Amino acid sequence: MSTASLTLSNPITINQSLSIVDGIYNGSTGATTTSTNPLTYTLISGPSAGGKVTFSSSNDTNYVLGNFSYLPNQSILASGSETFKVLVAEKTQFDKIVEGIPLLGGLAGQVILVLHQTPILGGLLAPIIGYSQVVTFAPNPSADNPLGNPLAFTYKMPSFDGTLISLNWFPASTVGANGVPAGDVAPTILNGPGLATAGQTDPYTPYGISGLTPGVQSLRNDGYNVVTWDPRGEFNSGGILQLDSPAFEGRDVTAMINWIATQPTSDLNGPNDPKVGMVGGSYGGGIQLTSAGTDSRIDAIVPGIAWNSLNQALYPSGAFKTSYSTLLLLDLVLSNARINNQIYLGVISGLLTGFLSNTAQAVLASSGPDFVVGNISAPTLFLQGTIDVLFTLQQAIQNAEALKPGVPAQMIWSCTGHGVCLTPDTTGTRNLDATLNWLDKYVKGKVVPAAPNFQYTDQFGNWFSSNDLPTAGSAFFGSNFTAASGASGGTLGIVPIVGGSGPAPQASIPYSLGLASKASNAINVKLNLTGLDQTVGAPTLTFDYQGLGTSRFVYAQLVDNNTGLVVGNLVTPVPVTLDGRTHSVTFNMENIVYTSDDPVTPGDLTLQITSSATAYENFTAFGVINISNIGLTLQTPATVTPEP
């Protein structure tokens, strides 16, 4: 049913449809227009019983502008219906102009949207703001699905403390490459979202995080039921966000697993023990480690760009990551998340003073997952990013080191993560393929092609592999390579921002603030790479120094002179004490991958020790330091195999 604007010359024609295909409600307004103005589509009245409507995304495999998928609320599956309305409207040149006005544009768009829905006035203004039609949909799942085949739906599940967690259930595909017959049981994958991101409701996107984690479609086509959810304190879920705490979000996942065990198409290992795996990146990666460390029913996990310790990730050696911490907090504020107040106070304190209070550190520490990783029995595939400036490679290494002996584990380092890949990215479907194989092996119990335990990429996009993980003391590492020894340094003035590392000009604000760039106010040491094939791991920096001031850090990075880029976009805060006395430092920099023996572009690196970094900007840091006797050793792989 549709209602037209009050005009006889409305050029928009509606031919709406809503039908179930492979367990998913698919809808379309079928709108066409005889004018040259493009059409826009807006959900102006959400499903009345609590369902969810998701418009088709350009990343969808079946993308059509204005089409949508619909998840009915679980309460109307057996009987009943709900209604929702979509506004189809023209976007005129006038609309584009007023919406493009700085500051006022967003408000203007909202006013135009209201005018379209205002009787008489909307019709009178249609020649200026565009014509429109409101299309009403009234799905009735029991009537639309008379055979009772498995159907995707949304549901608010009571968690351990009564908090309602909004989850979305997608049955395994019946037509995918590894689909299952309608009504047959299938294993289930929990697909967790990133921070300030709702659980995925689009069933037609192959990825969750592009190039890294699988989307609902990829998992359904591989023969899995899929559960996505809004984490505690976010979007449609209740409660207070506690940063993937085992005591809260971890127990929410346990409640979801209990619920999954009751679903008629869930394949079970035993009573109240469904065959279940987990995927997801960032916040959706951290929850996997938290959950698998507290619930042994989870059969396999694939944490992407996750952390081991939030204190070490956000406050390494006492240096606060101001840029990314601010971005994360803004994301939470803009998404109207309800979060632990101590998180707000901690970020504000870090921004103003560079310090985190003991209370703030305790909140971060309570989130883990470092203290529960040792309990994990689920086979674990770590996906981490060589250019991740928030959760660096060391976080995945520490998680791998904490696993119990005998727990199957593999690791892939690709040019992805919290940051921007500024070098060739040849990852393709490597992460997706590895994830599905991992789940198939350990959740389904299938035989899959063998894979090396460690795969990684370098600055050229070349791939390498080893059967050893890059953990401390492993057979992966060969002899250390000395790239500098006893190098003279100099005197460095320390002031905030001026001449320091970052923002990276190749990336856009605000993300560039977290990325390192070549510094102009720096002590530079040209490294001798003669005889070095490749370095993988954490460079060890040594130097002597003497200085005065309030600053507690200098910042070290490696600049690739061939490109002008900082390797991995990573800068490391190095603690110093500027009390006028002479001190010595030995400190591990962030893990990197760098190939030096390329015949076309041989390695050429400069070590920079600089005064400040926008990634860790502290406006109270001033001083002067004299640095001397600089040394740098690089870790090298013992034996690796080039990958195609």
Does the reported pTM lie above 0.75? Answer: yes
Residues above pLDDT 70, as percent of the chain: 99
Query: pLDDT digit string (tens) for 89-128?
Result: 999 999 999 888 887 767 888 999 999 999 999 889 999 9
Q: Are residues 340 and 435 in the same domain?
A: no
Q: Are residues 62 and 82 in the same domain?
A: yes
pLDDT at 442 over 70: yes
Q: Are residues 444 and 488 in the same domain?
A: no
Residue 103, pLDDT score: 72
Confidence label for 8 from pLDDT (cuts 50, 70 and 90): low
Confidence label for 644 from pLDDT (cuts 50, 70 and 90): confident
Q: Are residues 497 and 622 in the same domain?
A: yes
Within a domain: 58? yes
Domain that holds residue 90: 12-144
pLDDT at 482 over 90: yes
Task: Supply the DSSP symbol for 30.
Answer: -
Q: Are residues 247 and 300 in the same domain?
A: yes
Within a domain: 472? no
Q: Are residues 50 and 163 in the same domain?
A: no
Q: Assign 257 to helix, strand or coil.
A: helix
Of the candidates 300, 334, 367, which is a domain's last residue? 367
Q: Are residues 485 and 624 in the same domain?
A: yes
Structure tokens at 600: 């076309």
Q: Is the CB of residue 260 less than 8 Å from the CB of residue 219?
A: no
| Other beta carbons within 10 Å of 239 | 19
**Residues 6 or more apart whose Cβ sits within 8 Å of residue 448:** 437, 440, 441
Query: pLDDT digit string (tens) for 555-604?
Result: 999 999 999 999 999 999 999 999 999 999 999 999 999 999 999 999 99
Q: Are residues 274 and 140 in the same domain?
A: no
Torsion sign over Cα 138, 141, 142, 147: positive
What integer best gives the mean pLDDT of the chain?
A: 96
Mean pLDDT, rounded, for 30-44: 97
Of the candidates 88, 123, 144, which is a domain's last residue? 144
pLDDT at 4 over 50: no
**β-bridge pairing 153-158 and 164-170:** antiparallel
Within a domain: 471? no
Residue 7, pLDDT score: 44
Within a domain: 50? yes
Q: Are residues 638 and 490 in the same domain?
A: yes
Residue 9, pLDDT score: 86
**β-bridge pairing 579-588 and 540-549:** antiparallel
| Sole residue written with tokens 């996906």 | 383
